[in-house]
């Protein structure tokens, strides 16, 4: 929380001090001019500016929340870039204007005194309103970057309170601050922070589809840096520097920092202090200002109550913001309350109008239930609420078009209950329904994949014994070749790792996290043998690890047929195999000397292909356009990997040039993105 507070604290302090100085000068000028009765006009303008800033923040928050995920990314990225532009302009303006700020404001007040109360209100409103809008926009972008609002709001609040205290001290002449130096130092820090906000905004625009290069990573340290560590959290919260950054982010960050900081520092060096005579504030005109006439005698024309204008300036922006939010947010039509219980399902459900709908699902029974909005003819699911507890109400949002709809309620123990169906006529936009699968639907793919794994394990045991024999006979050169053959066999069985239980650590364990690292007694399996083979260990030193590998592979082969293989794991593994590839293999994190991470990545890709083969019949009927896209992704990645394979050797990941490495990572990332819908498409739902 507090790491996210610092940028907002700094912006709150700077903007608060800037606005507070303006207000202080306005008040001081009016007091010295002897027209205290016009102070209420200053405070009215200030109140209007605050109301406008808060209303602007509300519009940003509530209109963005109603957008789709992609639109939210694009909207947030655009506003982040705008916020950076505003902050940059503010930094340069304050560096240039700090010396003459008091004199300029006094001149404006002097002119306003002669033109009536409305001009004085407008003067204070414009002077404070700009800072308020900038603060609201910057706070919104930093809160979005942080993923929470408590830290940024707390930081901004502390900054504003401190700024108010400083301004009061300056007004009472109990404090002396070199404003030029203050705004110079904080300006430099804000430029660094703004560079991070720009990088975050560019990433949002990439994820929103506005800018290209979403998977072209310039930096990917996710496998080496713990994103939850204090130092990583601090860097992300304060500077928006993340372990993974795209080329566009890095170029935008460094380019902005280089250009803007250079101009800022050059401007500081070349700005010569003004002569004392020019720094003196022009107060003579203000001192000669005419006092405002006193109240008119009783019995004159009706006078407007004093509270009308302050109430109006607060109410108007609030009402306008409310109207903007009300009309900008796409309202779900309907809003029906639908009852859920063990005996009746869908009570209160009537044919809704086409469009985006919010149904309030209320569990009136005594058991927790799953609730689905379905097409009763095909069992296709349009929306679902899982784990609806008794006595609770949750929203289910779905887009309804022309067709037939019904509710299906599945209690935690008991039979499914389906409501009467209703027919909706008309359009309503595009609707996507998922035809659910059952355990029975996944039975055949599971049987086929288990047979593939059993065959692979039999091959693995034979290859592990060959490797063991090589080491026992001191044929270490041959052992290196046979090690890779056996390791690739195991690496192609990725979808079954979740069922291997403790065998996976014994067969393919990593040194990371072990107290002794590669020397730890619990470091075992392929990577332990790899370390020894490529770090000049003797056959005697490798004999025990090699025998332990054979024992573990043999034990897994015997245990696997009786192990529980959840059918629901198959769709999940379609995505997870290559996630591990991107995290461990393409970063060389698991390389213990052989330099064969790309070979392992190739085996992982082959294992993914085998899994998709058994799932293809189910996917073909649910997402016919998905499979051609995935096939093209696989072919593209396969071509890139093949280019780094010459005979029996593979290019080590760390020897790849930057462009090739990024192409392979980008192709893997794109394949992962296209495989992401598979778990949802093939999720086992009780409504089937």
- What average pLDDT score do residues 423-437 get? 69
- For residue 437, what is the DSSP state? B
What does 546-603 look like in DSSP terms, one character per residue?
HHHHHHHHHHHHHHGGGS---TTHHHHHHHHHHHHIIIIITTTTT-SSS--HHHHHHH
Over residues 530-540, the pLDDT tens digits come to: 999 999 999 99
Q: Closest by alpha carbon to 384, among 623, 626, 684?
A: 684
Q: How far apart are CA 465 and CA 486, in angstroms?
A: 10
Exposure of 413 by Cβ count < 10 A (0-12 exposed, 13-18 middle, 19+ buried)? exposed
pLDDT grade for 82, boundaries at 50, 70 and 90:
confident
Domain boundary assignment for the chain: 2-183+274-288+308-327, 333-424, 439-681
Per residue in 587-597, pLDDT (tens digit) is 998 999 999 99
Distance of CA 580 to the CA centre of its chain: 20
Instruction: Please tell me the total number of residues recorded for the chain in this structure.
Output: 688
CATH number for the domain whose boundaries are 333-424: 2.60.40.420
Q: Which fold has domain 439-681?
A: A middle domain of Talin 1 (1.20.1420)
What is the phi/psi pair of residue 393, to 5°? -130, 130
pLDDT tens per residue, range 551-568 = 999 999 999 998 888 888
DSSP-derived pairing of the beta strands 355-363 and 333-340: parallel
Residue, of 350 and 33, whose pLDDT is higher:
350
CA gap 451, 326 in Å, rounded: 58
Mean pLDDT within 177-188: 70
pLDDT for residue 142: 67
pLDDT band at residue 497 under the 50/70/90 scheme: low
404 membership: H or E segment, kind and range: strand 403-411
What value does the mean pLDDT take over residues 348-375?
86
Answer whether 333-424 and 439-681 agree in fold. no
| pLDDT higher than threshold 50 for residue 57 | yes
- Selected residue with higher pLDDT from 486 and 121: 486
Residue 638: pLDDT above 90?
yes
Q: What is the pLDDT of residue 570?
A: 86
Candidate from 248-252, 290-294, 331-335, 459-463 with smallest mean pLDDT: 290-294
428 closest CA partner among 352, 519, 350: 352
CB 409 within 8 A of CB 370: yes
Q: How far apart are CA 237 and CA 412, in angstroms?
A: 42
């Amino acid at each position: 929380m507090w790491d996210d507070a610092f940028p907002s604290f700094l912006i709150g302090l700077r903007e608060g001090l800037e606005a507070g100085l303006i207000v202080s000068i306005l008040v001081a000028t009016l007091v010295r001019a002897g027209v205290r009765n016009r102070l209420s006009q200053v405070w009215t303008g200030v109140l209007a500016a605050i109301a406008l800033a808060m209303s602007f923040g509300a519009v940003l928050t509530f209109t963005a929340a109603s957008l789709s995920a992609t639109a939210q990314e694009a909207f947030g990225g655009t506003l982040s870039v705008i916020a950076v532009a505003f902050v940059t302009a503010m930094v340069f303006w304050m560096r240039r204007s700090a010396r003459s700020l008091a004199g300029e404001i006094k001149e404006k007040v002097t002119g306003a005194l002669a033109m009536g109360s409305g001009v004085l209100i407008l003067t204070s409103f414009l002077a404070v309103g700009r800072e308020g809008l900038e603060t609201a926009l910057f706070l919104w972008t930093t809160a979005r970057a942080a993923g929470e609002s408590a830290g940024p709001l707390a930081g901004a609040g502390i900054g504003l309170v401190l700024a108010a205290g400083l301004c009061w001290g300056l007004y009472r002449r109990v404090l002396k601050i070199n404003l030029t130096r203050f705004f110079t130092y904080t300006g430099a820090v804000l430029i660094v922070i703004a560079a991070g906000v720009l990088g975050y905004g560019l990433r949002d625009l990439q994820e929103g589809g506005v800018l290209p290069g979403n998977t072209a990573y310039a930096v990917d340290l996710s496998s080496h840096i713990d994103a939850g560590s204090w130092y990583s959290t601090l860097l992300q919260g304060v500077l928006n520097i993340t372990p993974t950054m795209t080329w566009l982010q890095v170029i935008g960050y460094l380019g902005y920092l280089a250009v803007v900081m250079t101009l800022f520092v050059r401007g500081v060096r070349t700005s010569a202090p003004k002569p004392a005579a020019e720094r003196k504030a022009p107060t003579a005109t203000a001192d000669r200002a005419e006092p405002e006439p006193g109240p008119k005698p009783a019995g004159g024309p009706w006078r407007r109550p004093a509270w009308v204008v302050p109430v109006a300036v607060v109410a108007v922006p609030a009402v306008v913001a409310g109207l903007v939010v009300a009309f900008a947010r796409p309202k779900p039509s309907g809003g029906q309350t639908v009852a859920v219980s063990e005996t009746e399902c869908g009570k209160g459900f009537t044919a809704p109008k086409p469009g985006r709908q919010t149904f309030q699902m209320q569990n009136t029974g005594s058991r927790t239930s799953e609730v689905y909005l379905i097409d009763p003819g095909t069992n296709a699911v349009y929306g679902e609420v899982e784990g609806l507890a008794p006595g609770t109400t949750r929203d289910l949002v779905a887009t309804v078009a022309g067709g037939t709809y019904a509710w299906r309620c599945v209690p935690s123990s008991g039979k499914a209950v389906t409501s009467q169906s209703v027919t909706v006529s008309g359009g309503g936009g595009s609707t996507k329904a998922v035809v659910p699968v059952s355990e029975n639907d996944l039975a055949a793919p599971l049987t086929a994949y288990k047979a593939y794994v059993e065959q692979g394990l039999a091959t693995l045991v034979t290859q592990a014994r060959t490797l063991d024999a090589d080491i026992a006979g001191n044929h270490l050169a041959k052992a290196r070749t046979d090690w890779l053959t056996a390791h690739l066999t195991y690496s192609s069985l990725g979808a079954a790792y979740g069922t291997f239980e403790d065998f996976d650590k014994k067969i393919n364990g990593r040194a990371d996290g072990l107290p002794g690292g590669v020397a730890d007694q619990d470091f075992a399996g392929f990577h332990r043998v790899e370390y020894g083979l490529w770090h000049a260990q003797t056959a005697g030193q490798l004999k025990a690890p090699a025998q332990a590998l054979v024992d573990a592979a043999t034990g897994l082969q015997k245990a696997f047929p009786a192990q529980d293989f959840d059918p629901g794991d198959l769709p999940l593994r379609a995505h997870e195999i290559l996630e591990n590839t991107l995290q461990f293999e393409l970063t060389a994190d698991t390389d213990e000397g052989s330099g064969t991470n790309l070979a392992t990545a190739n085996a992982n890709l082959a294992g993914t292909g085998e899994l998709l083969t058994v799932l293809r019949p189910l996917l073909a009927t649910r997402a016919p356009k998905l499979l051609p896209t995935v096939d093209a992704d696989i072919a593209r990645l396969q071509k890139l990997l093949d280019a780094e394979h010459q005979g029996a050797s593979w290019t080590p990941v760390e020897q790849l040039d930057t462009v090739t490495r990024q192409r392979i990572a980008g192709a893997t990332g794109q394949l992962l993105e296209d495989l992401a819908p598979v778990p949802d498409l093939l999720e086992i739902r009780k409504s089937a």
